[in-house]
Chain A
Amino acid sequence: MRDEQLIEAIERYLNGEMSADERNAFEQLRRENAELDTRVVEHQQFTGLLKQYGERVALEKRLNAIHEEIDVHAIAEEVTVHPSWIVQLWRDHHSKISVAASIAIFAVLATLFFTGYLNNNNSYTELSREVGRLNRSTTDMKKDINAIKKGTRVIAAPDKSRGTGFAITSNGLIATSYHVISGADSIYIQDAAGRSFKVKAIYNDPQSDVSILKVIDTTFRGLGPIPYTFKHSESDLAENVFTFGFPQDSPVYGDGRLTSANGLNGDTLDYEISVPINPGNSGGPLLDSKGNVIGIVKAKETRLEGMHFALKSSYLINAIRSIPEDSLTKVPVLNTENSLANLTRQQQVKKIKPYVFMVKVY
């Protein structure tokens, strides 16, 4: 039997088109011939699949037709969980909101920057007195006028900045703050009586902000015995302290209390003090009620009232010990005899007055 005829027979058999006799014969053949049986099953399955496929296509077509009639958009609207209006607002406009926010932030930062608000350095001013350019030009003009009047012309360069210094030995070693003399061409000290002496810096310690100056002027005849002593240990809180310095041309006395054992932001180099001090006080001695030098007046926090700072005396003593030997004629010996202890404050100030100098920097 040819394959084509076999398939035709199988189809007729499956479709029930055979007569009863034919059918019996075919079934008999199918039982005997396993190969024929497999062919029948195979054909049945394949055509069945074909039929099912056709039905599926038809059903899908029907479903699509039904779907066409549905208002999908309306249903979608209805079943979507609508977020709150603020979320909706964000979803709809987030790009615009972001742009607006960045512009706002930029504007605020720019304003702060240009108004100098971000420039924190301004608040911590070191107290050397900057004689401003304006000031200088005024004095220049005055001098010029005077010179014209007198018919002579005195050329005297104005000093750039001023501070205070104080004697640590009677042979002319002077302590001051490093920031007072930093960048100086030449340095002079002037005592309360108005005499000036040329000095040079023999030791600088920018870290703890202390400098040691030595008088090199030939007219200098030495000082008397130093009345105050230097305290090695730390002083206690609430200690009554005072300073003496040159924020202006004549010396100024100021007193207060030791308010904290640490300086700005916990700086252990410094004490915090409530002594009223001003530009020009920098480098001045800070003394306790017994007349011990406990520190060097240094700086103040301008944003906060009453926050002034002084370097602890132990760092001053360290600095004196670190002076290189070749810049000294003899090893400095600090005074150990305090002659101020039992005096009144007026007498104390009077006694220390000759040992405190205005430091003029050119």
Chain B
Amino acid sequence: MSTESKSSIPTDSEIVFGILNNSENAIKRLYVAYFPMVMQLILNNNGTPDDAKDIYQEAIIVLYNKVKKGDFELNSKLKTFIYSVCRRLWLKRLSQMNRYSGDIHDFNDHLPVEDEVEEQGERDIQFTKMQSALQMLGEPCKTIIEDFYIHNRSMQEICENFGYTNADNAKTQKYKCLQRLKKLFFQQK
């Protein structure tokens, strides 16, 4: 009985509340529920299963951020929203690859989601820059920055992990690392 309810398609509000509550299970059920639909869209429009995975995950992230920001209104179906975002993303990808022939085989209704996709695209550019800046930063700076700013570890913990004799040394190190990261980040075009 429980597996039955898990595999069936979850309701939209279940998902929205699940995301807001950081429920692992909600995301999983969402993912499983609509992946075949996106697979169908991509595979029948010149794409591969890997393309489908990329596009679908990007769409899930768009939805996730929208829900987290609190501006997702349940006035359209979740399914339609995901489909529309994937469709938009795929069209963009196709035209980038010069493979867009001017028509797309649709399997669902869709909404205009240009704004969401644009926003996502811009943020993706920022994240790519951040990723390469962190890469260039090297160790131990990368781990210090990640521990402190991303994983919210205290300076004390970091101190112990890296074997600094006192917290001040660690703080100085962290300050220098942050300055370098900023420099690397803003240097990029």
B-contacting residues of A (Cβ < 8 Å)?
4, 7-8, 46-47, 49-56, 59-60, 62-64, 66-67, 70, 72-73, 75-76, 78-81
Separation of A250 and B61 alpha carbons in the complex (Å): 106
Q: How far is the CA of A8 from the CA of B32 in the complex (A)?
A: 45
CB neighbours of B9 from chain A (8 A): none
Closest 7 CB pairs of A and B: A54-B150, A79-B40, A53-B130, A50-B149, A4-B175, A66-B31, A63-B57
The interface residues of chain A lying within 8 Å CB-to-CB of B172 are 4
Number of B residues, CB within 8 Å of A = 33
Judge whether B39 and A79 touch: CB under 8 Å: yes
Q: How far is the CA of A63 from the CA of B56 in the complex (A)?
A: 10
Q: Are B151 and A54 in contact (CB under 8 A)?
A: yes
Residues of A contacting B27 in the complex (Cβ-Cβ under 8 angstroms):
62-63, 66
Tell whether B178 is near chain A: CB-to-CB under 8 Å.
yes
List residues of chain A with CB within 8 A of the CB of B36: 75, 78-79
User: In the complex the two chains form, is B32's CB within 8 Å of A66's CB?
Assistant: yes
- Contact partners of B39 in chain A: CB under 8 A: 72, 75-76, 79
Name B145's contact: one of A50, A70, A79 (CB within 8 Å).
A50
B182 A46 Cβ-Cβ under 8 A:
yes
What residues of chain A lie closer than 8 Å to B145, measured between beta carbons? 50
**Contact between chains at A72 and B64 (CB < 8 Å):** no
Among B43, B149, B172, chain A packs the most CB atoms within 10 A around the CB of B149
Chain A residues with CB below 8 A from B178, complex form: 7
CB <8 Å contact, B57 and A60:
yes
A154 to B185, CA, bound (A): 117
A59 touches B64 (CB 8 A): yes
What residue in chain A is nearest B134 (Cβ atoms)?
A53
| B110 in the interface (beta carbon within 8 A) | no
Bound state CA distance, A81 and B40, in angstroms? 8
Provide the bound-state CA to CA distance between A47 and B174, in Å.
Answer: 13
Task: Give the complex CA separation of A51 and B150 in angstroms.
Answer: 5
CB distance from B19 to the nearest CB of A (A): 10
Chain B residues within 8 Å of A72, by CB: 39, 49, 53
Tell me whether A50 and B150 are in contact in the complex, defined as CB-CB below 8 angstroms, given that A8-B175, A76-B49 are known contacts.
Answer: yes
Known: A53-B126, A79-B39; 6 extra A-B contacts, CB below 8 A, are A50-B145, A54-B146, A63-B61, A66-B27, A66-B31, A67-B53
